[in-house]
Amino acid sequence: MLNLERLRTLDALARHGSVSGAAAGLHITTSAVSQQMAKLEREAGQRLLAKNGRGVRLTDAGRLLAEHAARILSQVELAQADLEAQRGQVAGELRLSAFPTAARGLFPAALATLRAGHPALRIRSSELEPERGISGVVRGDLDLAVVLDWYNKPIPLPDGLVKAPLLDDPADVALPVGHRLAARDEVDLAEFAEDEWITWGEGEFCHEWLMFTLRSKGIEPIVGHRAAETHTQLGLVAAGLGVCIAPLLGRHPMPADVVTVPLRQRVRRHVYVVWRADADRRPSIRAAVDALRATAKEVGQAG
């Protein structure tokens, strides 16, 4: 009998193309991936992996079984969705993630509404960056993820995911009150060529967007400080240590020593929720998407 979790490991290895990629995608160690694959090879009675330089590749049998694994995992998801739909109740467990400002700006109201309307539904939420949220949905560790991309830098979505827009989130530049541009009605990014930027962590999607956007304007960014949380970034701005991009979602309350100035070329983040297409029939998915969209509408109107 083939073990479902080992088939999930094989599926991740086929999708990511390497043991390290599969381990990162599944949030387990490379040793655990290797152990799972060794056990799956014993169950299958055939070699599924072969050495390829310093890495590995799937054998013909490995590719064949990986194709079946993808279909099996999809069918398991469909079975779960059909059972939930047949029951017709919003019940069971729902696992969600959101990037930090959405977790702060959307989750409290949306998840409270969801719990009040559907007391039989167990909600589990976590704060994850967009790429990790998307990976979690693809793997099946999460049911939904609230993610984002920027107006000029979309984030790639794997096949098999469905998305629904939540809101467009405008972003300004946050400056110390004593900054030379703090009294302006609007500013251009090019005017900050000599300023230190307070940005997100190295490799994070929003950090990569800021570097891409500034360099597209001929500016080599001066990065002084990094912080994942918007409020930490704003605290550093208030101390006069630099400037930062400040999206509207989740940035209030603003520190007293910080002002925000709109950019001449309007900057927006597109915020949306993603889930697996084969889970589309689950009543809990539909209820969560409805609650998130209703909360996002209120946030957009308040902004």
One-letter amino acid identity for 66?
A
Q: State residue 169's pLDDT score.
A: 94
Give the 3-state secondary structure of residue 22. Answer: helix
CATH class assigned to 168-269: alpha beta
Question: Could you tell me which CATH number the domain at 94-165+270-302 has?
Answer: 3.40.190.10
Is it true that 94-165+270-302 and 168-269 share their CATH fold?
yes
pTM: 0.74
Q: State residue 23's pLDDT score.
A: 86
Question: Rounded to a whole number, what is the largest CA-CA distance in the chain?
Answer: 72
**Vertex 284 angle, CA 93 and 270, to 5°:** 105
One-letter amino acid identity for 294?
A
The arithmetic mean of pLDDT across residues 166-173, rounded, is 95
| Domain map (residue ranges) of the chain | 4-84, 94-165+270-302, 168-269
Span 203-238, pLDDT tens digits: 889 999 999 999 998 999 999 999 988 999 999 999
Q: State residue 141's pLDDT score.
A: 82
Is residue 282 within 8 A of residue 91, CB to CB? The reply is no
Residues 6+ apart with CB under 8 A from 229: 100
Span 63-119, pLDDT tens digits: 999 899 888 887 877 777 667 665 667 888 899 999 999 999 999 999 999 999 999
Residue 225 burial (10 A CB sphere; 0-12, 13-18, 19+): middle
Ranges assigned E (strand) in the chain: 49-52, 55-58, 92-98, 121-127, 144-150, 161-176, 196-199, 222-226, 244-247, 258-261, 267-276
4-84 maps to CATH 1.10.150.20: no
